[in-house]
Amino acid sequence: MDWTTHHVFNQFPELYDYGPLATDPALCEALARTGAGWARPALDGYAARLGRAETYALAEQANRHLPELRRFDSRGRRIDALEFHPSWHALMALYRGQGLVSLPFKETRAGRWAAWAAGFYLHGQVEQGTLCPATMTQAAIPLLQKEPALWAQLQERLYSNAYDARDLPAADKASIWLGMGMTEKQGGSDVRANTTVATPVGAGGRGGEYLLRGHKWFFSAPQCDAHLVTARVQEGGPFACFYVPRWRPDGSRNAVRVQRLKDKLGNRSNASGEVEFEDAWGVLMGEEGRGIPTIIEMAGYTRLNCVAGSAAILRQAAVQAIAYARRRHAFGKALAEQPLMRAVLADLALESEAALVLLMRLAEAFEREGNGDPAQRAWKRAMTPAAKFWVCKRAVELTGEAMEVFGGNGYVEDGVMARLFREAPVNSIWEGSGNVMCLDVLRALAREPEAARALLAELQPAAQGEPRIAAALQGLQALLAAPADELEALGRVLAQRLVLVAQACLLRAHAPACVADAFIATRLEGGGAGRVAGAIDTRGMDAGAILARAFAG
């Protein structure tokens, strides 16, 4: 007898070779109701490519073969070049070729933001690191559009769908990527503690030219062709925002010295670095003294992307867990048929759809904010940071729950679950951690009380015939009426309740009754906080219908 082999059974790999859009009824419905049906053919094709086993393999390779910093060339010249595995370039080219980087700004049809959100959400289910430079490039576009001279130089390359990985001056490339540099050692999220100094070139700044000296502790995607950077104008002066390219106009390398790359927990396919500016050349954007508001405008867009990225992680975790539990057997039947496991899977499914419906409503607000509707402003300026706070934190917790569905096999690096788990925290931390988001929610609601009232008025119809939503809305209004000196300490309570009520109302309006009822029962009754995933009362809940909708595969 050959004792070196044995029959392997009841073991299944993670899910590959499936259609992530075709199996997602909630996303298909969202595209239809937001007017983005015109984008379906392109998104269907993109989703089909993303769902292939070879695309998942590219994601695994890009996160195993990490970017490397090469400071000098073979003759000792300082080049600060970043070298990536071919899998990274393949995934970057895939996203760029889909036109998603510039879609919300280049396209004029209704539903453009929803179409972008869907593409980002689909890509993020497979690989997240490549979305970091894409996020920052997209977020820089509306800022650069306000700078006519810069925009004239960069528009064609920012709108290009061609992927160009060459390290050359922007003028010599088919397309470019932009990053951002805010964070310094001493300040973290407190950007006003930054010490990097920009000195005008010539009297008063020759054509808005400055030289920057200082450091950035987190410099996102240092391989990008340019970065938007905050710095003080002169020592102790006001803050300004600068466009700092990788190459100077004369064709020489700019003095942005990459000191090292961060050894990060997750988002490992993407490079983050520490840099020193040694009289790096930059161009003033906007006015001196307006640097913080300028970069915060950029952060508003990147925060939406954080919500989309975390919603994508929640979706992939839920789908992988459901697909595995349907095939894996224990104690005589499939895991997905075991009552306690069904409770866990249904809870994951509810969280995922709630995150998606909120994301798509935020995308609508970004598209419609310019029409003067105060409710759209509230969705964009108050609900976006609230969503970033809540959805990103839910992704951190629930990727761990989804990993448990796989048992020990989910804990090893051979499949996607461990990468999802490591990836989840970055969106909660990047662009402002939880407390920063809650403080932004409070500031936005206090600054525009009429927008807050318009937001609550929009949610009110969902309370008709639904006393649990009505009670939650009343509690939210009472909380908003609390004195300002008390409300700051309750910032997390407010942000959580705001999101849960909004998600409940959106699901009531757009999801099947089985989903909306289950979400309301498990999130609004008893406050929806402090519970373990799956610790829900499934009596009277149609868990089977919820799971069938969650992954229609």
Contact 504, 520 (CB under 8 A): yes
Average pLDDT over residues 415-427: 96
Rounded distance, CA 486 to CA 482, Å?
7
Structure tokens at 516: 């909306």
Rounded distance, CA 131 to CA 147, Å?
25
Same domain, 264 and 300: no
Among 290, 324, 342, residue at a domain's last position? 290
CATH number of the domain residue 183 falls in? 2.40.110.20
Rounded distance, CA 532 to CA 126, Å?
26
Task: Give residues with Cβ within 8 angstroms of 77, minimum separation 6.
Answer: none
Rounded distance, CA 317 to CA 312, Å?
9
Contact 191, 295 (CB under 8 A): yes
Task: Give residues with Cβ within 8 angstroms of 461, minimum separation 6.
Answer: none
DSSP-assigned letters across all residues of 33-55: HTT-GGGHHHHHHHHHHHTSHHH
Same domain, 374 and 459: yes
Q: Residue type at 318?
A: A
For the chain, the domain total comes to 3
| Residue 111 domain flag | yes
CA angle (61 as vertex; 60, 65 as ends), nearest 5: 125
| Residue 113 domain flag | yes
Same domain, 130 and 186: no
pLDDT score recorded for residue 138: 98
pLDDT tens by residue, 279-316? 999 999 998 988 888 888 999 999 999 999 999 999 99
| Residue 13 domain flag | no
Among 260, 290, 320, residue at a domain's last position? 290
| Residue 388 domain flag | yes
Q: Which residue range forms the structural domain that includes residue 313?
A: 293-550
Of 203 and 201, the one with more pLDDT: 201
- Where residue 263 falls among pLDDT bands split at 50, 70, 90? very high
Same domain, 85 and 180: no
Rounded distance, CA 105 to CA 155, Å?
11
Q: Residue type at 230?
A: T
Contact 36, 44 (CB under 8 A): no
pLDDT score recorded for residue 186: 79
Same domain, 284 and 344: no
Query: What is the chain's alpha carbon radius of gyration, rounded to the nearest angstrom?
Result: 24
- Answer yes or no: is pLDDT of 549 > 60: yes
Same domain, 143 and 199: no
Provide the H-helix boundaries in 482-550.
484-487, 491-510, 513-523, 543-550
pLDDT score recorded for residue 535: 84
Task: Give residues with Cβ within 8 angstroms of 129, minimum separation 6.
Answer: 62, 63, 88, 267, 268, 269, 270
Rounded distance, CA 165 to CA 177, Å?
9
Same domain, 385 and 437: yes
Of 553 and 500, the one with more pLDDT: 500
Same domain, 283 and 299: no
Among 260, 275, 290, residue at a domain's last position? 290
pLDDT tens by residue, 94-128? 999 999 999 999 999 999 999 999 999 999 999 99
CA 453 to chain centroid: 27
* Residue 261: DSSP 8-state: E
Buried b vs exposed e over 462-479: b needs ≥16 C-beta within 10 Å? bbeebeebeebbeebeee
Start-to-end CA distance of the chain, whole Å, equals: 41
Q: Would you call 391 helix, strand, or coil by DSSP?
A: helix
| Residue 7 domain flag | no
Q: What is the pTM of this model?
A: 0.95
Same domain, 32 and 119: yes
